[in-house]
A and B are shown apart, each in its own frame.
Chain A
Amino acid sequence: MSAWVTAAVQAVLVAAVAPLVIGLMRAVRARLEGRAGGRLAQPWRDLRKQLRKEPVIPADAGMFFTAAPVVLMATSVLVAGAAPYLSTAGPLPGVADLVVVVGLLLLGTVALALAGLDTGTAFGGMGASREMTIAALVEPTLLLAVFALSTRVGATDLGAIVAAGATDPARVFTPAGALAAAALAIATLAEAGRLPVDNPATHLELTMVHEAMVLEYAGRDLALVEWAASMRLTILLGLLANLFIPWGVASGAQPAALVLAAGVFVVKLAALGGLVAAGEVFVAKLRLFRVPELLAGSFVLGLLAVIASSVLA
């Protein structure tokens, strides 16, 4: 029972913090560009307003278009509740499994890509095909990078990996962990649609990936898509933080430990988000045909990490 409470708290926390992470990243970016920038809570204001606006369904759109925001949001909430963010003892040990988490994230990606195709517009289809190209290269890297840790722990359960990392870091973290962290970081940026793979602030349709798929969404549907997209960024950054900096995560459901874990989690997220935003100021978006090279590089890093952690150690 208490595990379910933990899961609910996690899901609510991730949902509440996700727009603020986006706001923080925009603020950091604006400051580094010499602008004043918007407020931290601006993405929340945007969501509140969009939730009050009427949704517009294009004439040619069908079931996939209307279902995608809900599927995207549902998978994000499920992962946010199950993955070890505040506590390593989740209510659904089967769902906190690495393969399931990556699969759920992929389900959301595919739902949105189908919605992009469903609108029948040129840009929707273009964005969908690009997103699928990137997803096909990113998902194996996500799996491999975490496998480097799970071979040491002997389980693919994310909660078990985080727990083992916190209690016995010498066993879990080998030099291969650094390779795995680099691979997972690149995969995170690509999966969340950040620079240098995708530019979330672009207005140029020809360079869009995520934005091109959501061009036709309006009002409430757009709010759901944007909210879920920001949650996916938080989910991935949170996984990166908790897998490689596992300290501060509660091992049970004691309220005091959960509050402490929530504080530590928010600090980790803010630090990682700020770091990503600061890095984005200095990089340009890669040409689309260069993206597979970057992702193949991260895949090789992940592969080396798995080999090194299972054979050499």
Chain B
Amino acid sequence: MDGGLSGQDPACGAGGRAGSRAAAAAALGAGLGGSVQVRHVDAGSCNGCEIEIGQAFGPVYDAERHGVRLVASPRHADVLTVTGPVTVNMAQPLRATYEAMPRPRLVVAVGDCARDCGVFAGGHGVLGPVGDVVPVDVRVPGCPPEPAAIVAALRGVSGR
């Protein structure tokens, strides 16, 4: 880590190149064959997105019926969901989690903060959007995104 100050990236708005990556994710999703294990990392979120992700796996939206399951270890996971702007302290754990996942592996950035730092852009200790730390395949916009949008994104990855 080269200190917190250099981490405050004013150009915290790089949210492009989503289209081609989404297509690649859909192609990869076909390889997953309707089974997706999700590992979640909160890289500095306000926990609003976490509540919505919790809802996506609750009785109402029930992502499990589409073959999506939350798991306890990145080694078991195919998909890494990341929320929040990546803070300086969470950048290394996020990289380590990504590195621990077996290939093929996908990253879903959930929420506006994960896309472009949202309201935290330029804040103290904010390193940048998720795309600056690990390659992002799918982005889910919203502050926070609705559970239905999260389920739709995960279904796009699982192919079901």
Q: Which residues of A contact B (CB under 8 A)?
A: 30, 33-39, 42, 45-46, 48-49, 52-56, 202-205, 208, 211, 215-219, 222
Residue positions of B touching A, CB distance < 8 A: 31-35, 37, 59, 62, 64-65, 67, 69-73, 75-76, 78, 100-104
| 19 sample A-B contacts, Cβ–Cβ < 8 Å, listed by A number | A30-B62, A35-B59, A35-B64, A36-B62, A36-B64, A38-B64, A38-B67, A45-B34, A45-B67, A46-B35, A49-B33, A53-B78, A53-B104, A205-B72, A215-B72, A215-B75, A216-B75, A218-B101, A222-B75
- Inter-chain CA distance A211–B71, complex, in Å, is 10
Given pairs A30-B64, A222-B76, 12 additional interface contacts (CB within 8 A): A36-B62, A36-B65, A38-B69, A42-B35, A45-B33, A55-B102, A203-B71, A203-B72, A208-B72, A215-B76, A218-B101, A218-B102
Chain B minimum-CB-distance residue to A52: B31
Q: Are A202 and B35 in contact (CB under 8 A)?
A: no
Residues of B within 8 A of A33 (CB): 59
Neighbour of A34 across the interface among B37, B59, B71, B78, CB < 8 A: B59
User: Which residues of A are found within 8 Å of B67, using beta-carbon distances?
Assistant: 38-39, 42, 45-46
**Chain A residues within 8 Å of B78, by CB:** 49, 53
**Does B35 lie within 8 Å of A218, measured CB to CB?**
no
A39 vs B160: C-alpha distance when bound (angstroms): 12
In angstroms, Cα B73 to Cα A208, docked, is 12
Contact of B62 among A37, A55, A205 (CB under 8 A): A37
Residue in chain A with minimal CB distance to B60? A35
C-alpha gap A42/B65 in the complex (Å): 9
**Chain A contacts for B37, CB-based, 8 A:** 46
A34 to B65, CA, bound (A): 12
Query: In the complex, are the beta carbons of B75 and A218 less than 8 A apart?
Result: yes
Q: How far, in angstroms, from A233 to B120 measured CA to CA in the complex?
A: 49
**C-alpha spacing A202/B104, complex, angstroms:** 25
Question: Nearest 5 A-B pairs (CB), nearest first?
Answer: A218-B75, A218-B102, A45-B35, A215-B73, A36-B65
Q: How far apart sit A158 and B101, CA to CA, in the bound complex (Å)?
A: 43
Q: Known interface pairs A48-B33, A56-B100. Does A217 touch B64 (Cβ–Cβ under 8 Å)?
A: no
Query: Among the listed B35, B59, B62, B70, which residue makes an inter-chain contact with A203, where contact means beta carbons less than 8 Å apart?
Result: B70
The answer to whether B72 touches A202 (Cβ under 8 A) is yes
Chain A residues, CB < 8 A from B101: 218
Rounded to whole Å, the gap between the CB of B99 and the closest CB of chain A is: 9
Tell me the bound Cα distance from A222 to B101 in angstroms: 13
Asked if residues A37 and B65 are in contact (CB atoms below 8 Å), the reply is yes
Report Cα–Cα, A202/B114, bound state, in Å. 27
State the CA gap A204–B71 with chains docked (Å). Answer: 10
Chain B: which residue is nearest A41 at the CB level?
Answer: B34
Chain A contacts for B102, CB-based, 8 A? 53-56, 218-219
Closest CB in chain B relative to A214 CB, distance in Å = 8
Residues in A whose Cβ lies below 8 Å from that of B100? 56
In the complex, are the beta carbons of A211 and B72 less than 8 A apart? yes
Q: Smallest Cβ distance from A39 to chain B, in angstroms?
A: 8
Chain B residues with CB under 8 A of A202: 72
* B147–chain A nearest beta-carbon distance, Å: 14
Instruction: State A216–B101 Cα separation when bound (angstroms).
Output: 10
Tell me, in angstroms, the Cα distance from A104 to B139 when the chains sit together.
48
Residue of A nearest to B103 (CB): A54
- Residue of B whose beta carbon sits closest to that of A42: B67
A211: chain B residues within 8 A (beta carbon): 72
In the assembled complex, the Cα of A53 lies from the Cα of B75 at a distance in Å of 11
The answer for the CA separation of A38 and B88 in the assembled complex, in Å, is: 38
Residues of the A chain whose Cβ atoms lie less than 8 Å from the Cβ of B64: 30, 35-38
Compute how far the CA of A48 lies from the CA of B72 in the bound complex, rounded to whole angstroms.
20
List B contacts of A37 (CB < 8 A): 62, 64-65
- Please measure, in the bound complex, the distance between the C-alpha atom of A34 and the C-alpha atom of B59, giving whole angstroms: 6
- A46: chain B residues at CB < 8 Å are 35, 37, 67, 69
Give chain A residues whose Cβ lies under 8 Å from the Cβ of B33: 45, 48-49
Q: In the assembly, what is the distance between CA of A203 and CA of B38, in Å?
A: 12
Contacts of A39 in B (CB 8 A): 65, 67
B35 and A48 contact, CB distance less than 8 A = yes
Q: Which residues of B are found within 8 Å of A35, using beta-carbon distances?
A: 59, 62, 64-65
- Alpha-carbon distance A45/B59, docked complex (angstroms): 22
- List the A side residues contacting B70 at CB < 8 Å: 203
A42 contacts across to B, CB distance below 8 A: 35, 67
